Amino acid sequence: MSDIWSVRSANADKEELIYFWAIGDLHYNANDHWRTFHKQRLAPMFTDLRSLWTEEGAPAFCVSPGDIIELNTPENFQLAKKQLTLLLGKIPFYPGLGNHELNGENTESEAHLIKDFAAFWGKPVRYYWVEGEVLCIMLDPIGYPEPYLTQESLAFLQTALAKHPGYISVVFCHCPLYNTVLDRDPLQILDYHSLDPFFALQNSAVVRTILGKYKQVGLFLSGHTHSGWGAPNLVYTEELNGHPVTFVNLMSPWYTGFHKGAALNEDGTIFKFDLDNPDLIVSFAFHIYRDQALIRLRDHRSCSWMAQWNIPLI
Residue-wise pLDDT for 255-271, tens only, equals 999 999 999 998 889 99
Percent of the chain exceeding pLDDT 70 equals 96
Question: Residue 200, exposed/middle/buried by CB under 10 A (0-12, 13-18, 19+)?
Answer: buried
User: Which amino acid appears at position 235 of this protein?
Assistant: V
Nearest-CA neighbor of 63 among 152, 166, 139? 139
User: Which class would CATH give 16-260+268-312?
Assistant: alpha beta
| pLDDT tens per residue, range 132-154 | 999 999 999 999 999 999 999 99
Q: How far is CA 269 from the centre of its chain?
A: 30
Handedness of CA 4, 11, 90, 69 (dihedral sign): negative
- Exposed / middle / buried, residue 198 (Cβ in 10 Å: 0-12, 13-18, 19+): middle
What is the CB neighbour count within 10 angstroms for residue 62? 21
Give residue 5's pLDDT band: very low, low, confident or very high (50, 70, 90).
very low
Give residue 13's pLDDT band: very low, low, confident or very high (50, 70, 90).
Answer: low
pLDDT digits (tens, 9 = 90+) for 24-78: 999 999 999 999 999 999 999 999 999 999 998 999 999 999 999 999 999 999 9
